[in-house]
Structure 1
């Protein structure tokens, strides 16, 4: 696939997104940007959330993970079902009852201003890191396939990536994203289907399900060694809590849900989203089995995050596969990144600057636009930092590891608020939420060093427990 083909594809793709932005951004204001005027159809939100949840990381890292981890990731996916049930039955009713724009406003009502600012700050940190990781992965692929051929440096690639996101989100915000995410999810799923079809045809596989089931890489459940990171109950419970915090306690994901007309629609959205997400993740893992076997049989030396890109674009699968791969990758990446930029803007505007309390609507909108630009630069800077610190493990593993340390305090805060009636010393909350991740890191490091026991993604739960205990110790 020639670089000129990639350029034409990107231009055509973003022309469509900008056209959608033009249609949805007419007469847009802050209410449109933050909550889409509470007019989003639930089925569009559900479908679009699939792409936002999976992102470019899942698109590349999950298939690449199969070689070393088999299909053990499915244990986490099954845990997601429990987590999404908690979101639909516990958190969504709370958010709709309080009529929230930012979900962290709940912490102010429950504990006080310090807790509120702390919760919002941890989200801003978590989402900035997560979004930057996702975009870093895609920027690397685009750099390899396109920009290196023209001698364009990595920082220009990153800047162009963020600029394009800003262009189609700066007016309509979440209203635009509900529609663009729907389109991008469709592109991503078509891409996966095309890739599975072409690889199975090339390998002369008549029944994909039988092939995957008989593969040595299809092992899903691991009960043998409780000390390992892939042990079933650690992965399953981590999956449940990851879903709760990375969706239910995440302004990015909940902001889409809160654009639905009412609670019933939001719950329907969550129910169907859960079913489809589990199925889609299975197909990503099945694709990973096919890609790994294809690489081995054809002598292709590609592993982890390089496996899917190299086979799709430099193998013998044809131009159509390469085009759909790139289309799916770009769609998956941007469906996550655009909503991240919008939610970061929303949280900082509402939670930190509290612009909703300003009386002048024009002043509110000017401030929001400045924050939108500010976070565009923050994402660029963060991605460039990652360029020099990313190690050799799959990016998805890094995201879940970081999530464990940054979302853990949010888990503790919400659990304490929802399941107890106790009050805390509000000024102590920032210190508790900083100490808890440090204790979590020391705990996991010690168990690995002295007992060869790795909590892996379960550090999220440990972190939440430490935060909960800290809040209890400083109760009023």
Structure 2
């Protein structure tokens, strides 16, 4: 694959995104940026949210884990399905009934300003760290597989990608993302389907025969019934439910696209269609992972994990498929980064700057502030990505991603307390809510640090999110009183 071919592909890709942005951002207002004037089509939102829910890391990690864990990710997927049904049946009706622009306004009305700022702050920290970490990991893959050989510096790649994201999200926000995320999801699926088709041809198999071959190779096992393992079924299943509840239903980035749909009924249809499409896409990724593992074994390749997919593509696939691979990788990267920057801008303006309750700002003032905030988050992403590159420690990135998961625990605990109890917080103790929200992650970290002494052979995994939420819930219960 030549540098000219890749450059032309990226240029055409960006031209399409800018064309969509120009068309959708004309006469855009702040409401267009935040919730698309509540005119988004539910089917477009559903398809686009597949790309937002996945990421460039998922693009290479899910296929790479099949050789090591088989189809065990289905345990988490089963929990996802239950979680999406609960979001559609419980949280979406609440958001539409209250006519929210920022979902954290619910916390303000139910538990006070401290809870409101705690929820919004946890979201901002989580999305800033996870969005920049995902961006770093994907840019690193691009650099390692191609751009280093072309002598393109890492910082320049990062700057160009961030400028591209900034340009097509700067004005239209959610109104633009609904369309661009849909196109990028389709680009990602095209790349995966093309790679699966090529692998089937190279191994001289049809889909049924490929599944049988994966079974014989021991790649299709699902259930893990070892209770002390981080991959134990019930831990994975329950974690899947709460991951969706916290990181989708209580996440401003995802929900601002849902509540951009005109009616509750359409938003619920969007969520259920997303569940079906996302499940099918993740199955396709796992099937691809099985095919890549079989091909690598036949070719004598000593590679696994996240390096498997890029290695097979760059060493064995033709140039056309290499271009499609990079198209898919960029298509998986952009929805997670552009959505994060847009949602962070919206949350900072609405929740931290308090636009909802300020009458001293004109629309022109708000527009100017929003542009500066958007630029600020773009600069922050650049700084964090370059920091990760300077540290150059993969385990540190894993720690960052885990810490961002910790920040959703307080959000989960705050929403759960508001929804599941009728207890109230006196005005005098509401100032303690941020301390309770901070205590949950701190106690979880101490538990994880000392789990060998506390639990013996048992190892905590994804259920840390649930424990985190329960600790915050318990803290709120202690400082609350029954509602009169």
TM-score normalised by the shorter chain: which range applies?
A: over 0.9
TM-score by length of 2: 0.94
Q: CA 1:300–1:4 in structure 2 vs 1: closer, same or farther (change >3 Å)? A: farther
Q: Write the distance in 2 (CA, Å) between the matches of 1:355 and 1:121.
A: 16
Which of 427, 430, 446 pairs up with 2:450?
A: 446
Q: Write the distance in 2 (CA, Å) between the matches of 1:270 and 1:165.
A: 26
Tell me, yes or no, if the aligned pair for 1:401 and 1:457 is still in contact at 8 Å.
no
Tell me, yes or no, if the aligned pair for 1:199 and 1:317 is still in contact at 8 Å.
no
Tell me, yes or no, if the aligned pair for 2:115 and 2:433 is still in contact at 8 Å.
yes
What is the match of residue 77 of structure 2?
77
Q: Write the distance in 2 (CA, Å) between the matches of 1:186 and 1:212.
A: 27
Structure 1 residue 209 displacement after superposition: 3.0
Q: CA 1:333–1:277 in structure 2 vs 1: closer, same or farther (change >3 Å)? A: same
What is the match of residue 343 of structure 1?
343
Q: Write the distance in 2 (CA, Å) between the matches of 1:371 and 1:125.
A: 15
1:235 aligns with 2:207: no
Q: How does 1:32-431 map to 2 (within 5 A)?
A: 32-206=32-206, 207-223=209-225, 225-312=226-313, 314-356=314-356, 357-358=358-359, 359-389=361-391, 391-392=393-394, 401-424=402-425, 425-431=429-435
Structure 1 residue 270 displacement after superposition: 0.3
Q: Write the distance in 2 (CA, Å) between the matches of 1:302 and 1:5.
A: 27
Tell me, yes or no, if the aligned pair for 1:227 and 1:453 is still in contact at 8 Å.
yes
Tell me, yes or no, if the aligned pair for 1:222 and 1:232 is still in contact at 8 Å.
yes
Q: Write the distance in 1 (CA, Å) between the matches of 2:48 and 2:4.
A: 29
Q: Write the distance in 1 (CA, Å) between the matches of 2:399 and 2:273.
A: 28
Structure 1 residue 328 displacement after superposition: 0.8
The DSSP-based 3-state class of the residue aligned with 2:197 is helix
TM-score by length of 1: 0.96
The DSSP-based 3-state class of the residue aligned with 2:224 is coil
Structure 1 residue 295 displacement after superposition: 1.6
Residue deviations 1:245-289, cap 9 Å, x none? 110010000010011011000000001110111111111111111
Tell me, yes or no, if the aligned pair for 1:50 and 1:273 is still in contact at 8 Å.
yes
Q: Write the distance in 1 (CA, Å) between the matches of 2:278 and 2:306.
A: 21
Q: CA 1:458–1:94 in structure 2 vs 1: closer, same or farther (change >3 Å)? A: same
Tell me, yes or no, if the aligned pair for 2:20 and 2:176 is still in contact at 8 Å.
yes
The DSSP-based 3-state class of the residue aligned with 2:458 is coil
Q: Write the distance in 2 (CA, Å) between the matches of 1:174 and 1:344.
A: 12
Tell me, yes or no, if the aligned pair for 1:43 and 1:269 is still in contact at 8 Å.
yes
The DSSP-based 3-state class of the residue aligned with 1:102 is coil
Instruction: Answer with 250-259 or 420-429: which moved more.
Output: 420-429
Q: Write the distance in 1 (CA, Å) between the matches of 2:304 and 2:381.
A: 27
Structure 1 residue 127 displacement after superposition: 0.8
Q: Write the distance in 1 (CA, Å) between the matches of 2:311 and 2:400.
A: 22
Q: Write the distance in 2 (CA, Å) between the matches of 1:317 and 1:264.
A: 45
What is the match of residue 462 of structure 1?
467
Q: Write the distance in 2 (CA, Å) between the matches of 1:389 and 1:299.
A: 33
Q: Write the distance in 2 (CA, Å) between the matches of 1:174 and 1:113.
A: 26
Q: Write the distance in 2 (CA, Å) between the matches of 1:309 and 1:137.
A: 13
Structure 1 residue 391 displacement after superposition: 4.5
Structure 1 residue 448 displacement after superposition: 3.4
Q: Write the distance in 2 (CA, Å) between the matches of 1:441 and 1:217.
A: 34
Q: Write the distance in 2 (CA, Å) between the matches of 1:208 and 1:174.
A: 40
Structure 1 residue 323 displacement after superposition: 1.4
Q: Write the distance in 1 (CA, Å) between the matches of 2:210 and 2:262.
A: 40
- Unmatched runs of 5 consecutive residues or more in structure 2: none
Structure 1 residue 4 displacement after superposition: 2.0
Q: Write the distance in 2 (CA, Å) between the matches of 1:214 and 1:193.
A: 23
Residue deviations 1:288-310, cap 9 Å, x none? 11112222221223222211112
Q: Write the distance in 2 (CA, Å) between the matches of 1:384 and 1:228.
A: 35
The DSSP-based 3-state class of the residue aligned with 1:40 is coil
Q: Write the distance in 1 (CA, Å) between the matches of 2:392 and 2:116.
A: 32
Structure 1 residue 389 displacement after superposition: 4.8
Residue deviations 1:57-98, cap 9 Å, x none? 111111112222222111101100111111000000000011
